Chain A
Amino acid sequence: MNGNEHVFDDRPPGVRPQENTANFLSYTVGLVLAIAATIGSFVVSQTDLLWPPGVPVGLIVLAIAQIGVHLVFFLHLGSGSDNTNNILALAFGMLIVFLVITGSCWIIANLNDNMMPMPAH
């Protein structure tokens, strides 16, 4: 194996690519972005800045953006080859989470639609 050859190396989640002074910066950038997304969520939900029927979509978009910020800047998950195993596991977890949540909502919405009308109590 010569020195120039690129060697794939597994990196655990939560570990930075190399120890350097940029680590503190990474956490701080993450914190600033997360604060921005959080304040954005509160502003969107409490004001009419967005078209009102679009507010839930706006909130979901902001939440997904903030989760992305946390994964990249706090958990240091990246697209590098040393992160392949971590990302694959995350992708599988997200698939299951997606199936459970949307599947439940879909099935129960169908059941509610097909309910016999019930007298109000």
Chain B
Amino acid sequence: MTIAIVDTLPAETVSGRGGGGPAPTRTTIAYGFWIFILSDMVMFSAMFAAYAVLSGNTAGGPTGRELFNLHNVFIETACLLFSSYTCGLGMLSAERRELSRFLVFAAFTLALGAAFLTVEISEFAGMVEKGAGPSRSAFLSSFFGLVGMHGAHLTVGLVWLVYTVAQALAKGLRPVVLRRLACFSLFWHALDIVWIGVMTLVYLMGDR
């Protein structure tokens, strides 16, 4: 009950850092999720460090230069960037309680995310077929570890998006659904940021 009351307070009456009583639920939930995302970044940093250290150890196997297709990487990057954009616009529509516009943007986000995953999975399958699977060399183990971890996050994100859209349809765009949507949006933007690192360190630097 208390939470519901606090939630309806206008923003001006709530002063920060504990001064004006508990912060609105919207603030605490998104802040907690922000902490989770930062810890996820720390986890990714370990994968990046492993890749940076091992990327030269090809054990006589294929190098990045022989394996990477920058044409595909460009398509993947564009898919993720535009899905981040439609995700942000979807959040705007949801906050304005425009359900149909939200659904359109969510569909775009889902389609672009799925297109990214399709390109990535076909790239992985092609590499394994050529004998360049994760067990070939330390370079390829760390490559599949890092890029695969990002892909796994993205897959979870897509499942989460479908689940949240189903909630929006079943329950309407009420505050609790909006908060879950806000967390998804943070997660999705964060994955796009991780992809900038993957694109730069793995593909663009590895291709030289």
Taking Cβ atoms with an 8 Å cutoff, the residues of A that contact B are 7-15, 19, 23-24, 27-28, 30-31, 34-35, 38, 41-42, 44-46, 55-56, 59-60, 62-63, 66-67, 70-71, 74-75, 81-82, 84-86, 89-90, 92-93, 96-97, 100-101, 103-105, 108, 121
Task: Decide: A45 and B207 in contact? CB cutoff 8 A.
Answer: yes
Task: Decide: B42 and A93 in contact? CB cutoff 8 A.
Answer: yes
A96 to B14, CA, bound (A): 32
Given A9-B11, A23-B92, A42-B204, A97 and B182 touching (CB < 8 A)? no
20 CB-based A-B contacts, threshold 8 Å: A8-B16, A10-B31, A12-B30, A14-B185, A28-B85, A31-B81, A34-B81, A38-B77, A42-B204, A59-B204, A60-B200, A63-B197, A70-B196, A86-B34, A90-B34, A97-B41, A101-B49, A101-B52, A104-B50, A104-B52
Given A27-B85, A27-B89, A97-B41, A86 and B31 touching (CB < 8 A)? yes
Interface check B186, CB cutoff 8 A: yes
What is the number of contacts between chain A and chain B, taking CB atoms within 8 Å?
Answer: 149
The 10 closest A-B pairs by CB, nearest first: A12-B30, A93-B38, A104-B49, A97-B45, A8-B16, A45-B204, A63-B200, A10-B16, A100-B45, A108-B53
Taking Cβ atoms with an 8 Å cutoff, the residues of B that contact A are 11-17, 19-20, 23, 26-31, 34-35, 38-39, 41-42, 44-46, 48-50, 52-53, 60, 70, 74, 77-78, 81-82, 84-85, 88-89, 91-92, 95-96, 182, 185-186, 189-190, 192-193, 196-197, 199-200, 204-205, 207-208
